[in-house]
Amino acid sequence: MLWPIYSYRVTNAVMEGNNSKLRTITKRSYGFKTLRYLRLMISLVFGKLKFDVPRLT
């Protein structure tokens, strides 16, 4: 049924992209010992955190 796409102009592309990112994260984090590390990795990817790298002067 495609009528919601035409009447509301809404697709599930964003959700599909998020699912793809989650699958990639879980594949990369296979060696993590606890669920906490997986949660940290997910928050780093989806939280879009920015870190300032200290520079030596």
Nearest to 22 by CA among 7, 50, 44, 53: 44
In the structure, what pLDDT confidence band is assigned to residue 6 with cuts at 50, 70 and 90? low
Q: Which pLDDT value is given to residue 2?
A: 58
pLDDT classification of 5: cutoffs 50, 70, 90? low
Give the closest residue to 24 by CA, choosing from 14, 35, 16: 16
Q: What percent of the chain has pLDDT over 90?
A: 2
pLDDT for 11-25, tens place per residue? Answer: 788 888 889 998 988
Contact between 20 and 29 under an 8 Å Cβ cutoff? The reply is: no
